[in-house]
Chains A and B, each alone.
Chain A
Amino acid sequence: MSWQVRTLLVVPCLLLLAPGCGRSAPNTERGRGDTLDQLEPFGLAAVLTSAFGASASGSVELAFEACDAAGKGIPFALLELNWEEGGRTAFQTDESGTIRMLFHASALPGDATVWVRILPIGHSFIAVERDDAWRPLTAGRVRISVLPGH
């Protein structure tokens, strides 16, 4: 299934998250303020469609915060994007567990499944390959905040 088709199927679920719509999709929750909490791996294209739908700007900035079960930010977590066309990239969060990304409506990057991976504190890239050491986030969430674009 192409990402465009999948986006069309997922967007109505995300629109239910708009204020006043009353209920959330089972793997999402409303966070604090204008945030959206993802409890499971999620599609980037659907999040972008929702974010651009609520913005008059041609670009949006998304802050992704990796949180543990208690809602506390996880320092130096890795936000992994598993691209539909192939390949995986992961970007390290800062000390607060947050990484910010910018998207332009005129050049969206295609779809990816997004989730968080964790490397043990003190992991040595010399001693152990990353793929043998990192683990997906469990019992946590990714909190997404939509910020005004540039």
Chain B
Amino acid sequence: MPGHARDRGAEDEPLDLTDDLYHRIKAGLFQPTREPLVLRLTRAGEDGREVPARGEYAMFSRDEGSFGVRSDDHGAIVVHMDMEAALSHLSVNTPRDRGLVREFHEDPRHPIR
């Protein structure tokens, strides 16, 4: 469903992208070689509505170690993967106590560009 966002995982819980994407890839709903995965970090604003979390880090962990990627002015991190990377159990986490929510936007038209 274009534009639909899925919230995933408790705040401090690493999210295994392969576990999350495997069945969607098998069903042809997500094609890593064709489209990016758009992760958007949000948090609750003063009025309770979610607002983009700009300049926050999401940590990506692999068997060999980890690295962080900073969200842009829209709270987005856009990651492109080949099939090997998509199936490599890359996990995503956010720092504790930042009140961040991870949303994965499903839009093959890519909402950034």
* Chain A residues within 8 Å of B, Cβ to Cβ: 61, 76, 78, 80, 83, 85-92, 94-95, 99-104, 107-110, 119, 121-126, 129-131, 150
Contact = CB atoms under 8 A, between A and B. Distances in A.
Contact of B67 (A80, A88, A102, A150): A102
A86 B112 contact: no
A107 B79 CA distance: 21
Given A88-B85, A109-B65, A131-B82, 8 more contacts: A76-B112, A83-B62, A85-B63, A89-B85, A99-B70, A100-B69, A109-B66, A125-B36
Contacts of A110: 62, 64-65
B104 interface: no
B33 to A, nearest CB: 5
Contact of A103 (B36, B67, B72, B85): B67
Contacts of B82: 87-88, 131
Interface residues of B, number: 35
A133 B58 CA distance: 28
Contacts of A83: 62, 85
B65 A108 contact: yes
Contact of A109 (B31, B35, B62, B80): B62
B96 interface: no
Nearest to A92: B78
Nearest to B55: A100
A103 B63 CA distance: 15
A78 B109 CA distance: 17
Contact of B90 (A61, A89, A131): A89
A91 B84 CA distance: 16
B19 interface: no
Contacts of A76: 112-113
Contacts of B61: 107
B70 A102 contact: yes
